Structure 1
């Protein structure tokens, strides 16, 4: 009995030792496999660092408005008799938009003109009699006064009739009419908005530290959300004082808007162009990675220990850089890189030091287009 028990214990020990040994062998084999397994190359886009011309800008946000824009209203009370306006209609200066009921004023003007004509004839007779020596100076003076008064009354009634007409003060585009024919109007009631949008003005602010870099006539570029078109303009005015609460300076620029793509009240992004600089190292902003330890890029460099042949293996190397100004899609690099360095611009999220690289520059990561198409 004891012999059988000892045999069972020995067999159990052999089985347990075999299982433990097998597990140790398996773990060691897996470890050796992964330790010796070559790392998979990561496909990235790159750009070669080259000093180039740089046009620094001052970034700002602002609002555009029409160079001339008003909400039109009438000068006197009355009922709308004619309504000559339509939504988005273009009008010229002096064009009649609304005519109020002026029947009474027209009748008064007709009567006054008749009286003025009669007084003019009386004046002509008085002058003729005076020249013959049979008329008195008093009669002539009375005729002159009556003719002048009648002419002044005609001018007054003509001015009253002008008040019954709403005319365009300048050329532009009308908005949505807010009145209808037959409606009784009073001064102050907005009839329609008129905006001259051929030339817009953009109002924006910049920090007071930038005030010395601004000047009237300086070129600006403007873009609106949802529209990649860049609109050109120039600064037309700079506020001579700094807002003490915000420490900002108000600036106004005139923007050409020939196609009417900008709308008054629209939010826009503005770049004030500074003088061009040469031999500046700049990279696409997609190449820059920001972390708690600083800004860095991944440079594509030959694997350590290999030669410099054409078939050399490239690997990623983390390089911390000093960042300067930003302009559009580019950022200035002030330290850490030199001309000729190859920097990764897309695919950094899968990289670490020593990761093998495969370079594919057929696509521009900034636009998603082929580089040939983006260049065109």
Structure 2
């Protein structure tokens, strides 16, 4: 190879090396730009508040809002029509079973009753006369049978007439307290017209609902305590008497009824009350603020804060890990966690809607959701 050819070969190799170096440098630059772009598109840290899961002693207690109602109540009304001839009560009066309250005019019915009673007497005489004649075979047995049937028919009419006369008197079906009088002397009443309400106030009933997660706390015969602003400073002992046999599909709550003695009449129907039921000995539960739990049709979830290295300034980095849990009883603003969280784990209490698995987290606990086991319940 001549000296000129050698120089040309060296020049070509240098040019080729420069081109290859440029390609490699460009590819490295492009990769760095792509990595920087991807990094720029990553989730920014989300600011959340957190709490540490802790174990506490719980006395299994159910607290619910209930409503008092009378153990027996009725709107007393007339069965038949008629003119009011007597009123034997005043508004708000205490009455006993069977006490007459209102009388309607019975005179036309009494007159018809007297006529029927005369017919009974005549039918009895006819029957006795025919029975004496049948012994001598002066008449047939069919005549006596007809007389007997006639007498029984008229006697049935007498009983029916007396029942219609009894309907002219409106009486108390059970002991209790009357409401506001809605009838006056001389007033004409049509069937079904209400004259007064009657409430049996001792004992009282209280109806309240229980979430399906706390159904296991309720048993017939167990004791409860009721408190109401209608009787400040007092508590009333209650006994669970009935449990609805099905859960309301709209609210997932169970209706429960308890009986409350009310000898002094301090409680009235329609009054709101707070019902507390305590069951068994205290138990240990892992507790979280109720706000930390996200409830979905497919289950309850929380976000756990996991450490993922440290920032440039040395502060620890955190990432979110979504986890399914099993919840138990609730107590005020707290919920018991049966499975899914262990003591000491850091749980997100606010800001969960911004998170998914792997989301970077920045913790700011200046504002925390309520975590009161016994928050005050205002009357509606």
Quote how far apart the aligned CAs of 1:89 are: 1.6
Q: What corresponds to 1:94 in structure 2?
A: 98
Q: How does 1:201-240 map to 2 (within 5 A)?
A: 201-227=205-231, 228-240=233-245
- Deviation per CA, 1:17-51: give whole Å up to 9, x if none: xxxxxxxxxxxxxxxxxxxxxxxxxxxxxxxxxxx
Aligned length: 234
- Aligned match for 2:176, one of 169, 172, 177: 172
Quote how far apart the aligned CAs of 1:279 are: 11
**Structure 2 CA distance for aligned equivalents of residues 263 and 131 of structure 1:** 71
Distance 1:246 1:325, change over 3 A: closer
Contact preservation (8 Å) 2:60, 2:278: yes
Quote how far apart the aligned CAs of 1:54 are: 8.1
Q: What corresponds to 2:369 in structure 1?
A: none
**Structure 1 CA distance for aligned equivalents of residues 144 and 192 of structure 2:** 47
- Deviation per CA, 1:287-336: give whole Å up to 9, x if none: xxxxxxxxxxxxxxxxxxxxxxxxxxxxxxxxxxxxx9869xxxxxxx99
Contact preservation (8 Å) 1:218, 1:273: no
**Structure 2 CA distance for aligned equivalents of residues 68 and 226 of structure 1:** 21
State which drifts further: 133-142 or 154-163.
133-142
Distance 1:76 1:325, change over 3 A: closer
- Deviation per CA, 1:213-254: give whole Å up to 9, x if none: 211111111111142221112111112222222222111111
Q: How does 1:1-376 map to 2 (within 5 A)?
A: 56-227=60-231, 228-277=233-282
Contact preservation (8 Å) 1:56, 1:325: no
- Deviation per CA, 1:70-95: give whole Å up to 9, x if none: 11110111111111121222222222
Residue aligned with 2:270, SS: coil
Contact preservation (8 Å) 1:220, 1:272: yes
Quote how far apart the aligned CAs of 1:128 are: 2.3
**Structure 1 CA distance for aligned equivalents of residues 218 and 66 of structure 2:** 16
In structure 1, runs of 5+ residues without a counterpart are 1-52, 281-323, 328-334, 337-376
- Deviation per CA, 1:190-223: give whole Å up to 9, x if none: 1100111111110111211101121111111111
Distance 1:275 1:120, change over 3 A: same
Instruction: Supply the RMSD in Å over aligned alpha carbons.
Output: 2.4
Quote how far apart the aligned CAs of 1:265 are: 0.9
Quote how far apart the aligned CAs of 1:132 are: 4.3
**Structure 1 CA distance for aligned equivalents of residues 190 and 207 of structure 2:** 33
Contact preservation (8 Å) 1:64, 1:264: yes
Residue aligned with 1:229, SS: coil
Residue aligned with 1:99, SS: strand
**Structure 2 CA distance for aligned equivalents of residues 169 and 71 of structure 1:** 11
**Structure 2 CA distance for aligned equivalents of residues 134 and 263 of structure 1:** 74
- TM-score (ref. length: structure 1): 0.58
Distance 1:254 1:221, change over 3 A: same
Contact preservation (8 Å) 1:96, 1:166: yes
